[in-house]
Amino acid sequence: MSSKRISIIVVSGSRERLQMAAMVAAVGAVGGNRVTVFLSMNALRYFVKGDETAAPAEGPFGRLLDEKLPFRTLFEQAVSLGDARVHPCSMAMDVLALEPAALEPWLAEPLGLTKFLDDAADAQTWSF
């Protein structure tokens, strides 16, 4: 399989959407693709260091997901096992009054939407 670029925008705070975004990132990165994840809006709060708040489930399947591999672990594995970078949105960080040190250490540097969109111009792009 040839290497591709995958860009993922994650704005939802629902467990199912966070899980699917994490699965796309992990499988894509481990499969040899360069993956860029952009965490913004309702998704960003689940990546504050030490905060284990459970994301709300949209339905019964979402409630079962906590018993399996959690989305945070999948995102971290995408970074550690493949060519993935997970960027917090700089605007969302400003709105939430978060400093980079408050976020999980495996997250990449904050990124603005303009830069993300420029980088994603020739990539396969997913939104969750």
Tell me whether strands 83-88 and 124-127 are parallel, antiparallel or unpaired: unpaired
Phi, psi of 39, deg, nearest 5? -95, 125
Locate the domains of the chain by residue range: 5-127
pLDDT by residue (tens digit) across 47-102?
A: 999 998 999 999 988 878 767 788 999 999 999 999 999 999 999 999 999 999 99
pLDDT (0 to 100) of residue 68: 77
pLDDT (0 to 100) of residue 109: 98
Give the pTM. Answer: 0.94
- CATH of the domain spanning 5-127, picked from 1.10.3210.10, 3.20.20.150, 1.25.40.420, 3.40.1260.10: 3.40.1260.10
CB 91 within 8 A of CB 113: yes
pLDDT (0 to 100) of residue 2: 62
